[in-house]
Structure formats: C-alpha cells, structure tokens
Amino acid sequence: MIDGLKPYPSMKDSGVEWVGEVPEHWTLTSNRSMLRRRKVLVGNRYTNYNLLSLTKAGVVIRDVSTGRGKFSADMGTSQEVRSGDLVFCLFDVPETPRTVGLSRHNGMITGAYSVFECDDCLLGRFLETFYIAMDNRKALSPLYVGLRNTIPHSRLLGTKTPIPPEDEQTAIVRFLDHIDRRTRRYIHAKQKLIALLVEQKQAITHQAATGQIDVRTGRPYPAYKDSGVDWLGDVPVHWEVRRSKRTFTPRQELASSKDVQLSATQAYGVIAQKDYEKRVGRKVVKILRHLEQRRHVEVDDFVISMRSFQGGLERAWQSGCIRSSYIVLQAATEVVVGYFGQLFKSVGYIAALQSTANFIRDGQDLNFENFCRVDLPFPPKQEQQLVAATLERVTMGIGLAIERSSREIDLLREYRTRLISDVVTGKVDVREAAARLPDVDPLSEEDVDDPAHADAGSNLDVDEAAQEVNL
C-alpha cells in the first residue's frame, strides 16, 4: 500500500517555524491569496438553511429534529456556508474536534466559526488536509494569541502555506484518500470485533449474575421460581430476592481533609482523580467550591452518579472523597461486593434502572430513590463468591482481547496521522505510489466509516463552547 515512499531529493527552509523544510519546488503562498472570508449572515432566513456543525467527520448537517440540534432564536446571527468553503475553528479549547473542515454542503454555521471561500476545489482539499495535520501535531500553537487562545483572521490570512504544484496536489489527495479508505476499513473491522466481544461479555455477565446459568456447570439450574420482579423473571429456587435498600444503605460521612479526590468513571470505576488523568492522558475539572460537602468513600462502596443509568453503578477501588452530587452506597455484611459489581454492570440491571424514572428525558440526576425501586437477586453468600470469581476469570480474557484490539486501532490512527502529516508537509514523496493505484479502488463500493473518527453527533458541544469565544 505504501511501497516506494521516499524523501524528496532537494529541500528548502519554508521560513515557517512550525512547518520546517519543504520540497524545493513547492511554493510558499500567503493564505490571503487563496482564501476570502465569507461574511454573509443569514438573518431571519435561518429556517431555510441546513444547520451545519464542524465535527471529527468534517462539516456535517446537524439533525434539527431533537435536542441540541434544534434551531434557536440566536440562529439569525449564523453565517452562510457554501459547498467548497473552508470552515475554521480559530480557538483552542479541549472540546474542539478539529481545526478546519471543507464543506460539502450548503447551509449555515454559528458565528463562532470563520468561513472562507476557496475557488479551487483541489486546493481546498489540500488545505483542509494540511491544517488538520498541523492541528494534530499541535503545530498551530504559535498562531494563537491572547488569554482566549484564538487565531485572529488577519494572522491566519497572513500565514504562508507550502503548496505543491497542481499535479502533485492531485497525487497527494488521491494517495491519502486511498490510505484513509484502507485504514477506516481495518478500523471498522476491529470495532465490529470489539462490539461482538462486548456483547459476549455482557451476555455472560447477565446470565451468570441473574441465575440463568449455573457457573459450576454452564447450564441452567435444576429448578426455578418466579422472582416476582419483571426484570429478573425466574430465579433459582434457592435464591432470594431482596429490596435494594435492605442490601445497600447511603454512607453519610463527609470527607476529611486527608481524603484524596476521586473520579467516578464507567471505564475504571471509582479511582483517584490523578490516576484517571494519567490513564486518559488529559486533565479533568477540579472541584473548587463546597469542598466541605464532599462525600467520603471507602473501598468497595458503590457510587451512584448522574450517568449511572448508562453503565451501572460504579465500584470504588480506593478510599477518598467525591463531589456532593454523588450518592455513596455501603453494602450489608453478607454482601459479596464482587458479585454485585458484576450485577450492576449487567444489561438487565441497567435497563431496569433506566425504567425507574424520567430523569433521562427531564435532565434529572439518578438518586437513591431510583436505586431502591429495582429489587435485587440475592444468592447465598458462597454462591455470590463463586459467581464473582468465575465471571472475573471468564471475562478477563475477553477484556484483554478488547484492550488488544483497541490498542491496535489507536496505533493505526497514530500511524495514519503521522503519515498524513509527513505527506502534506513534503517529508515523503507519494507521486510514484499514487501513480500505481488502480483507477477504481476495489474498496470504494463497500467503503465504511470509522465511527470514532467520524462521529458527527458526539461533537455538537463544540458549537456551544464556541459561543463563549469572542472572535
């Protein structure tokens, strides 16, 4: 796929610190000569336009039928976008999914973004790829100014961009399109595998934790009885069904000055905030107010967070404190925490929790009352221990396979990012490789999207964040 890549024979200093050397025959061209700022406001005609958003997938049409995608009264301040325009996000905040997108749609976008016309479609695609690559490398930092970390329009337009000849632009765009299709296809296959593994893990957990199978035999128990609980159905005849508030009670202790700050996460449970930041590679919002109201947490407590309805209750792996909006549950003495940790993550329990209230629709937090409305299966203590140990052993292998596939995806994305950067900055010559590509890519007819790379819906918060920046 990438045989024959080699460096250019002759390079020169681009004169742009964050670009470095470029091929000798490339021209350093001012953006002002290639781009013109579009300043057309839509006014009260906004309902006649598609509402656009800049996401990881580029410039996409937002769904205005529900939620945050709806039109609002301030849409009249939005600006017109035409197909072929470049939309820049000229502020630097953690929620920013990408710096630029080439619009394939006519529509409008909030005034927080900057829209530029580019008459040459091929050049527009090259500029989009170039500035995305620079953004991924964090190379645009020298352009940001002020406390708000913004790029003034004059600064962007005055910046010079290394531009290859037109035939070379064509080769670069063609080669990178080919690479992108190949990598997205591989990533999609890995994501399908991960989804199947997650589904398998969920099914095993639910069946074992609710007594549908006996972990000692891998088959159903000999005799069952009606649990009287809709989400459970029949349970083994020797199991109990208990009220949740009889099994877990809220912990009333407030935090002490020695308590470390914890984070409640779906991926890792309740862990120290500093450990969570290390795992995800980014900082999280720190609690600065009402510290005296934080709640104390002990190891093996469970935490009800506002997102518990999405992924079950979170088990505490470390003692410390957590924000006052969370509810901390301590278990009764006869409870095996490992068993309930599995139960609370089962699809059946989460679905039952979701059915307890309208908090999802109304924006309310999940609370102890919701928790108490879901009755729980209660096997004998020795059986709780057996189920917990078996599930930990069985699901560990599945978890390792998921982690391995996820890591392969991450590595491929990193490779793709580095390769694109090297190509658009002239570090490698792809002209020969592009010439060998087939006229019709055999994958194009069944091309697939990489959801993590092209998830339009998950980045709508960027528009809200953008409104806070005064450009």
Q: At 63, which CATH number?
A: 3.90.220.20
Q: Is residue 194 part of a domain?
A: no
d(Cα 402, Cα 267) in Å, to the nearest integer?
13
Distances (CA, A) of 372 to 69, 327, 356, 361, 375: 34, 12, 9, 20, 7
Domain boundary among the residues 350, 371, 395 is at 395
Residue 404 structure tokens: 């391995």
Indicate if 180 and 37 belong to the same structural domain.
yes
DSSP string over 72-131:
-GGGGG-EEE-TT-EEE--B--TT---SEEE--S-EEE-TTSEEEE-S-HHHHHHHHHHH
Provide the 3-class DSSP secondary structure of residue 235: strand
Q: Is residue 429 part of a domain?
A: yes
Q: Which H or E element spans position 12?
A: strand 11-13
Q: Is residue 77 part of a domain?
A: yes
Q: Is residue 148 part of a domain?
A: yes
Indicate if 57 and 128 belong to the same structural domain.
yes
How many domains does the chain fold into? 2
Write the CATH number for 364.
3.90.220
Q: In 3D, which of 147, 181, 60, 112 has the Cα closest to residue 459? A: 60
Q: In 3D, which of 29, 159, 33 has the Cα closest to residue 90? A: 159
Indicate if 316 and 344 belong to the same structural domain.
yes
Q: Is residue 11 part of a domain?
A: no
Q: Is residue 434 part of a domain?
A: yes
Do residues 387 and 209 lie in contact, with contact meaning Cβ atoms separated by under 8 Å? Answer: yes
Query: Hey, which bits of 274-430 come out as E strands?
Result: 295-297, 302-304, 314-315, 320-322, 327-331, 376-378
Angle, alpha carbons 7-13-19 (nearest 5°): 80
Indicate if 427 and 368 belong to the same structural domain.
no
Q: What domain range is 348 assigned to?
A: 200-395
Domain boundary among the residues 350, 366, 395 is at 395
Q: In 3D, which of 12, 6, 16, 15 has the Cα closest to residue 26? A: 12
Indicate if 248 and 298 belong to the same structural domain.
yes
Indicate if 234 and 369 belong to the same structural domain.
yes
Q: Is residue 401 part of a domain?
A: no
d(Cα 364, Cα 358) in Å, to the nearest integer?
8
d(Cα 294, Cα 262) in Å, to the nearest integer?
10
Indicate if 168 and 279 belong to the same structural domain.
no
Indicate if 150 and 233 belong to the same structural domain.
no
Indicate if 97 and 204 belong to the same structural domain.
no
| Length of the chain (residues) | 471
Matching residue, tokens 């059946």: 348
Q: Is residue 400 part of a domain?
A: no
pLDDT tens-place values along the chain, 471 residues long: 566 689 999 999 988 878 889 999 999 999 999 999 998 888 878 778 888 988 888 899 987 776 556 666 567 778 999 999 999 988 776 556 678 899 999 999 988 888 999 989 999 999 999 999 988 887 787 788 876 678 888 888 998 999 999 999 999 999 999 999 999 999 999 999 999 999 999 999 999 999 999 999 999 999 999 999 999 999 999 999 999 998 999 998 999 888 999 998 888 899 999 998 888 887 776 766 667 789 999 999 999 876 666 777 899 999 999 988 889 999 987 899 999 999 999 999 999 988 887 655 444 567 888 899 999 999 999 999 999 999 999 989 999 999 999 999 999 999 999 999 999 999 999 999 999 888 765 554 444 555 444 443 334 333 433 333 332
d(Cα 180, Cα 18) in Å, to the nearest integer?
25
Give pLDDT, residue 362.
Answer: 47
User: Max CA-CA distance within the chain?
Assistant: 81
Domain boundary among the residues 395, 421, 438 is at 395
For the chain, how big is the Rg over CA atoms in Å?
A: 27
pTM of the model: 0.74
Indicate if 232 and 333 belong to the same structural domain.
yes
Give pLDDT, residue 297.
Answer: 94
Indicate if 75 and 172 belong to the same structural domain.
yes
Indicate if 38 and 160 belong to the same structural domain.
yes
d(Cα 2, Cα 442) in Å, to the nearest integer?
17
Do residues 59 and 463 lie in contact, with contact meaning Cβ atoms separated by under 8 Å? Answer: no
